Amino acid sequence: MCGIGGVFDYGFATRPEITPELLTRMSDAMVHRGPDDAGYYIAPSGICGLTFRRLAIIDLTPAGHQPMSTHDGRYTLVFNGEIYNHRAIRSELEAKGYRYKSQSDTETILYAYREWGEACLERFFGMFAIAIWDNEKKELFCARDRIGIKPLYYATPNGRFIWGSEIKALLQHPALHAQLNERALPHYLSLMMPPAPTTMFEGIFKLEAGHSLRIDTKGNITKRAWWSLLNAGAPLENISEEEAIEEIRRLLRQSIKDRMMSDVPFGVFLSGGIDSSLNVALMAELMSRPVQTFSVGFKDLEKYNEMHYARAIAKKFGTDHHEVLIDSHDAEGVLSNLAYHEDEPNGDPVCIPLYFVSKLARDSGTIVVQVGEGSDEEFAGYPWLVRDIKLYDRMWKPLGMAAPKVVRRAAYLAASPLVKNPLIREYLRRFSRGEELFWGGALAFTEEHKRRMLKGYDDQDSSFGFAEQWHKEINAAYPNTEYTRRMMYLEFKQRLPELLLMRVDKIGMAASIEARVPFLDHRIVEFAFRLPRRIKLGPNNVPKYILKKASEGILPNEHIYRKKMGFAAPVNEWLKKDLRAFLEDHLFQSELLKTHTNIVYIRRLVHEHTSGARNNGQLLWSLLNLTLWEERYLV
């Protein structure tokens, strides 16, 4: 795991402005991503520079140092992530005559690119962000892994291409200045993170998951999707439940084994749910020593804790178990720092417990952890997902556009004042306008909220355009496909890569640990995408039905079939009492909110929440993180 970055001064060929001091500033801004080593490279022409911070995981010797160049100096690489099958690819390259100086996966990427060009990406099993400078063609190549586990940001100010693992590294360049992207603000409010390629910073972009780009000396950028879930293959309509169970177990065992590749101590974040418990159980099968497990809970708010479930799994599999308990005072002490590490405001409150359990792992000497992200998105594990599927079956699909728009609109206007739940009102609004039901699993502010709160709101501020485009993409590739498959595609376009995986990357790296996600091995993802609804949910629409069946015999049944809790943080309670003053201080002093929103409406949201009239916790949390981000980057 590393932090990478660099500058390509394609418009300054006669007077490049890349210096060691600039590249060092960029890497130092990401020192948390790589406290073990640093390095930089400047091309002989001076028009390209690469920079690097290293968290040593594979080949801890200086031979794994980056930037790394081929023997002839043509290609130079910086790389963030892990290639789990690098040894198999290495054997193939050695048979072709390549001679290695290290045991690192970095060197395999370098030679694979030289041998196969961009097609090498399809051979890699892992998580990665890559930048390769071709000194002969004077061309830069960048790529992001299939699922988007590792981030890559870039900007193109005035004849330059500036990129890095974190936005704060890009901002070290004097050509860039932190400025709010006003067009992204409404989409952050709805989706809790702007969809790629936009960011909350004007002029700064993120490379989409599964995409690569190439830029030449004329500044021409060629971007392409080198992987897409839409190419996973035909749906497995005739697969049996037994066949699905066998394949899930096989793929998951292989994925967990692959992700145990490490030259430093590794462990598991154990929440007590099925996903993290499977990580522990299947890892324990492969180890002769206890698995290191780490859990976080909340003082005095037992309803949010799964500690007793985590302890039961730790006891059953004989792990070396570690715990940390936190409260609102602990949270308040780190919120500003988390806003800095997140780069963009992240509306997910789980960032708080995730930081403390990451720090617990690091303090124990564990550098690599396996986490459970992705399972619910693949195997339909959320109750709200089943709720939306039923709503689609009963309302959207049978009625759809059959009812005239004027009738749907009249029904909405009549029913809306009688409905208190803002989500139900939002669904009625979507139905009345003929919009898609599902926009993604992360929804904070509805369009009604935004219309009341944002100054100058119009239809361009609606986030429907993103959802509509994603639905069109999957409908073109899989006409009339099951709605569960459409929902999974949308989750892999936005919520998973840009919200959930960015919280894992940024918060884990804030504590200088590497988080690996075995459920997001692309072979599991593609298989899960092809499974029909009858297999995923079973005959009675049970969330995560097939994964629960696959867990039988591995985990205790009473653990598998208990009520789902989910990994959460008690921000609803904290904002009502302990963090209320903190919340109000930041919201009502924010110049961003004063400029772009109706503060009277925000005061109403606060009053409703603190009085107990309505649960506005997620809305207020999103606004609070927006102001904390503003204070760290825009002020």
Q: Which residues are catalytic?
A: 2
Secondary structure, 3-state, 575-627: HHCCCHHHHHHHHHCCHHHHHHECHHHHHHHHHHHHHCCCCCHHHHHHHHHHH
CB-based contact 27:40 (threshold 8 Å):
yes
567's tokens: 């990994």
- In the numeric block, which tokens belong to residue 240? 């049996």
Structure tokens at 185: 């603000």
Q: Answer yes or no: are the C-beta atoms of 16 and 45 closer than 8 Å.
A: yes
Look-up of token digits 């860039």: 176
Q: Are 466 and 495 in contact (CB under 8 A)?
A: no
Helices (H), 117-272: 167-170, 185-191, 241-258
DSSP string, 318-366: T-EEEEEEE-HHHHHHHHHHHHHHHSS----TTHHHHHHHHHHHHHTT-
**d(C-alpha 187, C-alpha 191), whole Å:** 6
Q: Are the CB atoms for 354 and 515 separated by under 8 Å?
A: no
- Crossing angle of helices 522-530 and 483-493, in 10° steps, is 150
Q: Which residues pair with 555 in a beta bridge?
A: 552
| Structure token digits, residue 621 | 């949390």
Count CA atoms within 13 Å of residue 69 on its CB side. 16
Cα–Cα distances in angstroms (integers) from residue 409 to residues 147, 253, 429, in the given order: 39, 51, 8
**Separation in Å, CA 396 to CA 176, 412, 427:** 46, 14, 10
Closest by CA to 292, choosing from 330, 264, 251, is 264
Q: What share of the chain is helix, strand, coil (3-state, %, to 5)?
A: 50, 15, 35
Beta strands in 506-600 (DSSP E): 514-516
Tokens describing residue 530:
């092809």
With tokens 């392409």, the residue in question is 224
568 three-state secondary structure: coil
Q: Which amino acid is at 120?
A: C
* CB of 625 closer than 8 Å to CB of 347: yes
Longest dimension (CA), the chain: 74
Write b or e for each residue in 143-156: b if 16 or more Cβ atoms lie within 10 A of its Cβ, otherwise e: bbbbbbbbbbbbbb
* Residue pair 333/489 in contact by the 8 Å Cβ criterion: no
Are the beta carbons of 474 and 486 closer than 8 angstroms? yes
Alpha helices for 181-240 (secondary structure H): 185-191
DSSP state of 162: E
Tokens of 378: 């693949």
